[in-house]
A and B are shown apart, each in its own frame.
Chain A
Amino acid sequence: MDYALRQRGRAAIDFLSDLRSRSDYLEQRTDQRAFDAGLDKAALPDDPAQLQTIVAPLLEADPEFRILRMCRDWTLEQHGQIAMEAFDEIRTDIEPALHALNSGPATLRYASDLEAPAYWDGFEFHKSAGGWEGHDFMGFVHGELIHRRMVNPNFAGMIYALRKSVAESIPVRNPARILEVGCCSGQYTQGVAEVFPDSEIWACDLSARQLEQAQRYANEHGLGWKLFQAAGEDLGVDDSIFDVVTSYAMFHELPISASSANLREYLRVLKPGGYAVIGDVKAYHAYAPYERWKADYWNQMHGGDPFWREYAATNLAQLALEAGFAAAEWHGMGERQYPFVLIARKGAAHD
């Protein structure tokens, strides 16, 4: 839907986004200075915890690295608050339109007895003030103001194309029914719906506020998504009803025990021969050690992503096979190997 921010909110968001991108040169400069000082990339260990003990002290001794970290800390710690304040400036302008979009072809079923997992309940992922639920329009705040206006520019405007590329990797022709788990405000759901316009789209999330934004998007575009509030570990739907279960950028937010439970639940709800397709951040084994250190440092150690390392250092294909899938592969997409995609097939009745 169309909306216009006020001057203060727009300028604050633009400043935050530009500070993030324009301070990046310090990363290259401090990398180079560490190499010049004798850091030998070829001699680094593979283990991310060991990498932290070796590399982090060298970089943190560089004042410019600390300036870089200060800039990134500021953007992480301020972005949620800035986005909520930008919304509140225009609330009276757009609230009627947002309420109107509650009606339409998309349905939303709330869970009356939801038991939120400990890894999710009250946690502010990415240090985003308010988390997923801390504002009555947090779905709009997160989906529109944070993702579209702050995050997307720092992915060179490619964030939606990356999501859609995972949907395009789903190896099923004309699936009748697709489930997306962890749909948040519906950004990957949009990609799935574009790739499979004739499929019935179901999508769930733990966050009611994010699901409400997904519903508004679907209603605005005449899409009959079936949205429901549930954890991926306990979907609360019948066995063997989906041709595809998919997700994007959710598994790195889960402890591995929850990822395993998710995969077992996907197996239950998939039809025989159906596919689970899981897109997420790059696996650690696909990085050279120094780059792996950087991914670990900025996400696991300083990014508000406490399970990033657990996810990125686990072989997801093996996890899927252990969960009971008949076949599984996990690979990076394209030259940059980003995102990583797990494609796991449930055995057919005759397997």
Chain B
Amino acid sequence: MTDSNLRPEDIDKLGQALLTLTSELWIAKDRVRMLEAALVNAGVLGADAVSLLQPDTALLTELAAERARLIDTVLASLAPADD
């Protein structure tokens, strides 16, 4: 039995997953920052409004679907369907 999850031959897949994750993360960070700036500039939101916002059921459902897509994308890089 081995104690290590990743072995040298897994490193390329790890790199793929890391880049996929970084790309998704940046898209999300960029979007959030742009949205917050636009809304604060328009006087719609205070600086803490996003942090304090509680999502309703529809938004929770949308977030769950997006989150699933993100996780599936990363997992697909680590374990491709036709590997």
**Which residues on A are within 8 Å of B, measured CB to CB?**
4, 6-8, 10-11, 14-15, 18-19, 22-23, 26, 29, 52-53, 56-57, 60, 63-64, 66-67, 69-71, 73, 301
Mostly helix, strand, loop or mixed at chain B's interface?
helix
B51 within 8 Å of A by Cβ?
yes
B6 within 8 Å of A by Cβ?
yes
Residue contact B67 to A63, C-beta cutoff 8 Å: no
Closest B residue to A29 using CB positions = B79
Residue contact B1 to A52, C-beta cutoff 8 Å: yes
A66 to B11, CA, bound (A): 12
Residue contact B10 to A66, C-beta cutoff 8 Å: yes
Closest B residue to A297 using CB positions = B1
Residue contact A6 to B51, C-beta cutoff 8 Å: yes
Residue contact B9 to A18, C-beta cutoff 8 Å: no
Please list the 8 inter-chain residue pairs (A to B) with the smallest Cβ-Cβ separation, ordered nearest first: A70-B5, A64-B79, A67-B78, A22-B71, A66-B5, A4-B54, A56-B1, A67-B79
Using known A-B contacts A6-B51, A73-B5, determine if residue A22 contacts B75 with beta carbons closer than 8 Å.
yes
- B52-79 interface code vs A (CB 8 A; 1 in, 0 out): 1111000000011001100110010011
Residue contact A26 to B79, C-beta cutoff 8 Å: yes
Cβ contacts A to B, 12 pairs, < 8 Å: A8-B51, A18-B64, A18-B67, A19-B71, A22-B71, A22-B75, A26-B75, A26-B79, A64-B78, A66-B5, A66-B7, A73-B5
Residue contact B64 to A14, C-beta cutoff 8 Å: yes
Apart from A4-B54, A18-B71, A23-B71: 8 A-B pairs, beta carbons within 8 A: A18-B67, A29-B79, A52-B1, A63-B10, A64-B79, A66-B10, A67-B75, A70-B5
Residue contact A18 to B68, C-beta cutoff 8 Å: yes
A29 to B81, CA, bound (A): 10
A4 to B51, CA, bound (A): 11
B2 within 8 Å of A by Cβ?
yes
> Which residue, of B9, B13, B55, B79, has the highest number of chain A Cβ atoms within 10 A?
B79
Residue in B51, B71, B75 whose beta carbon sits within 8 Å of that of A15 in the complex = B71
Q: How far is the CB of B61 from chain A (nearest CB, A)?
A: 12
Q: How far is the CB of B33 from chain A (nearest CB, A)?
A: 14
A6 to B9, CA, bound (A): 40
Closest A residue to B55 using CB positions = A10
Closest B residue to A15 using CB positions = B67
> Which residue, of A10, A63, A301, has the highest number of chain B Cβ atoms within 10 A?
A63
Residue contact A60 to B2, C-beta cutoff 8 Å: yes
**Which residues on B are within 8 Å of A, measured CB to CB?**
1-2, 4-7, 9-10, 13, 50-55, 63-64, 67-68, 71-72, 75, 78-79, 83
Chain B contacts for A4, CB-based, 8 A: 54
Using known A-B contacts A8-B51, A14-B67, A60-B1, determine if residue A66 contacts B6 with beta carbons closer than 8 Å.
yes
Chain A contacts for B83, CB-based, 8 A: 63-64
A29 to B51, CA, bound (A): 39
Q: How far is the CB of B32 from chain A (nearest CB, A)?
A: 9
Residue contact A70 to B6, C-beta cutoff 8 Å: yes
Chain B contacts for A66, CB-based, 8 A: 4-7, 10
A122 to B46, CA, bound (A): 44
Using known A-B contacts A14-B64, A14-B67, A63-B10, determine if residue A7 contacts B1 with beta carbons closer than 8 Å.
no
Using known A-B contacts A6-B51, A64-B79, determine if residue A57 contacts B6 with beta carbons closer than 8 Å.
no
Residue contact A22 to B2, C-beta cutoff 8 Å: no
Closest A residue to B67 using CB positions = A18
Closest B residue to A64 using CB positions = B79
Residue contact A63 to B9, C-beta cutoff 8 Å: yes
Closest A residue to B28 using CB positions = A11
A19 to B75, CA, bound (A): 9
Closest B residue to A33 using CB positions = B83
Residue in B13, B52, B72 whose beta carbon sits within 8 Å of that of A22 in the complex = B72
